[in-house]
Amino acid sequence: MSAHSPMPRSAWMFPALAVLLFAAVTATGYVFTLSPGGLVFAVVLLVVLFGTVFAAVHHAEVIAHRIGEPYGTLVLTLAVTIIEVALITTIMLGETPAPALARDTVFAVVMIVCNGLVGICIFIGGLRYREQGFQVSGANVYLSMLFALATITLIMPNYTTTTPGPVYSTAQLGFVDVVTLALYGVFLYTQTVLHRDYFVNEAADGEGGEAQMSGRMFTFSVALLLVSLLAVVLLAKKFSLVVDAVALRIGAPPAFAGLLVALLILLPEGVSAIAAARKNDLQKSINLALGSSIATIGLTIPAVGVATYLLDTPLELGLSSQSSILLLLTFLLSMLTFGTGRTNVLFGLVHMVVFAVFVFMVFVP
């Protein structure tokens, strides 16, 4: 939705419902259990939480439109990262220890984005327009960043000797945090200032100017963004209890929690990316999809690393050999898909099949 359109009711209703739900649960001292009443609470919680995440992203986009680049991109990225770190850290510190949750979530984000979301966007675009184009130079920047960050954070921990894998030592984790933050900072400068033309669909970018929003609307969006982020952070603990209980009840593997968190985080941007592909703006889809995966590694891993250091909790980052093979396959496939600047239905279908394999292997490893 455009920043200048009237604010949808959901943009303020869900943050208000989230605050009211947290206040009600806190005042009554409610403890979640797997009972009929507990299932009703879980459904309400998920609906409110999903709606609040959508609201937070909407207000971040409104603010980004008003203040322009590069600060607009920073606002949107930081909003999503705060949500992600809150969910990951809260679940990791829950009643059931989950030292591998950050790894599982980051890996799930990469697989969802680079195979599921990219595959759906290319497949839908191919069905509607046969072929779609994009900037190869921009795609190469995304892929080089993604390959480097994913390898450093998800594969290298298995091959260090200072501490047994799949963990980094304190010094190693601190070095990786600094390197990934620095690399992401340079990438952000490249994307928004130095080589902005690499990431722009010239036809879409040239479409008419949008009406300037009022100062009152801008202030309202800033306030609601803060409320939305606070509400997500407050409800993260309740969400972690639901995830733990459901995973225990259905006998889900440990990676299930990471997949669920990744889906929750990526849903708003995923909807926007698919909508852009339907409008023949695959460049925007790529920016949203690959940009999300890079931000997840470049910002979330350092933030979670600092949190686990301060709280003295373990952090497992190294992938299993099976997951490493899937990640390598994703890298090779992405190089072929984004190597020519044109896509078609078959590229999309291949990515979707790899994503289906990933989801199946989560439950049947």
pLDDT digits (tens, 9 = 90+) for 296-318: 888 888 888 888 888 788 888 99
Give me the pLDDT at residue 208, please. Answer: 42
Write down the pLDDT at residue 118: 92
Residues of the chain with pLDDT under 50: 1-4, 206-211
Going by C-beta distance under 8 Å and a sequence separation of 6 or more, which residues neighbour residue 66? 3, 72, 213, 218
Which segments of 218-346 are extended strands (E)? 342-343
pLDDT of residue 1: 43
Given this model, what pLDDT does residue 203 score? 56
Write the pLDDT tens digit of every residue in 157-168.
999 989 887 889
Q: What is the pLDDT of residue 95?
A: 62
pTM across the whole model: 0.81
Which residue reads 């509400």 in tokens? 231
What is the widest separation between alpha-carbon atoms in the chain? 59
**Average pLDDT along the chain:** 82
Domains and CATH numbers, the chain: 9-363 (1.20.1420.30)
The 3-state DSSP composition of the chain as helix, strand, coil percent (nearest 5) reads 80, 0, 20
Residues 6+ apart with CB under 8 A from 251: none
Rounded CA separation 216/336 (Å) = 47
The per-residue pLDDT for 93 is 66
Burial of residue 329, with CB atoms counted within 10 A of its CB: 0-12 exposed, 13-18 middle, 19 or more buried: middle
Separation between Cα atoms, residue 278 and residue 281, nearest integer Å? 7
- State the pLDDT at residue 3: 43
